[in-house]
Amino acid sequence: MTMLGKIGEHAAIKKLTATLGSHPALRVGAGDDCAVTKLPDGEIDQVFTTDPIVENVHFLPSDQPERIGNKAVGRVLSDIAAMGAQPQWLLVNVVASPEQDVEALERIYAGINALCHRFEAVLIGGDLAQGPCLELHVFGTGTLPSGTALLRSGAQVDDCIFTTGPLGGSRAGKHLDFIPRVEEGLFLRTSGRVHAMMDISDGLATDLRHILRASNVGALLDADAIPKNGTLENALYDGEDFELLFTVAEENAAALQLQWNEQFATPLSRDGRISDRENELCIQFPDGTAQRLEEKAFEHFR
């Protein structure tokens, strides 16, 4: 018998997704921030994603209910933003014990609805079941013009690597209060300049590796340029930043940054470049020395 604790989250996902089905309307399956399908009219694609949060894993019982709701739906909206899509429909499945405070649940839903309203997403249903602790399982869809979804697999050698907002220290409160970069994701898609994009949920180093593997490239980060909440270690590995990570051709980088600064208060940082050293992630320090980054991040079941 193979136990989850033995192989870990990522190996388990690889085993389980090997049995997923296919369909002529499926553009992108498992392995990106969202799955992407073609709608019958041929002009619009729909994106699909789902994410759970579990008490004592993703939040504490003492956390403010509205903030728990913000995080639950914000994680899904962040995935949709990473594709450059407009959020659409949301479903929420709740698992709770018989002792769960109903008024607290209502406040969680108030947090969910506040963030949905901000980005024109609509909560249309869900389900409720009994379990040992509070869990919120959110399913969401979004739309975008046919064939325009921003994927992890488009990074090219010599691309500039950009991130939005400061990274690290999310456990100080940002992991509950973050605002998903939906408007920024829509802008980046319509700019036509972005080659690859995803959101940062597991830390810059870990998530950049997802882009490198999907694109068969490497990367060199600039330690001094990475925007930090705390230390460089925090910025690279803490996770739950829910900022956007994307690549742009060198010749388009300055124009994109100028246009960004005209539209958003959110800081945009140029953190490094894509290299031709397949799957190799290195970081360069101000004194000119460079080193390969370790693969270390939070992983469920480990």
Do 152-292 and 4-145 have the same topology in CATH? no
Alpha-helix residue ranges (DSSP H) falling in the chain? 4-17, 65-82, 102-118, 174-177, 182-191, 204-215, 232-237, 250-263
Residue 190's nearest CA partner among 97, 83, 90 is: 83
pTM: 0.95
Domain residue ranges in the chain:
4-145, 152-292
Architecture of domain 152-292: Alpha-Beta Complex (3.90)
Digitized pLDDT (tens) for each residue of the chain, 302 residues in all: 888 888 887 788 888 778 778 888 899 988 899 999 999 988 999 999 999 999 999 999 999 999 999 999 999 999 999 999 999 999 999 999 999 999 999 999 999 999 999 999 999 999 999 999 999 999 999 999 999 999 999 999 999 999 999 999 998 999 999 999 999 999 999 999 999 999 999 999 999 999 999 999 999 999 999 999 999 999 999 999 999 999 999 999 999 999 999 999 999 999 999 999 999 999 999 999 999 998 876 667 66
CB atoms within 10 A of CB 254: 12
**SS3 of residue 122 by DSSP:** strand
Superfamily of domain 4-145 in the CATH hierarchy: PurM-like, N-terminal domain (3.30.1330.10)
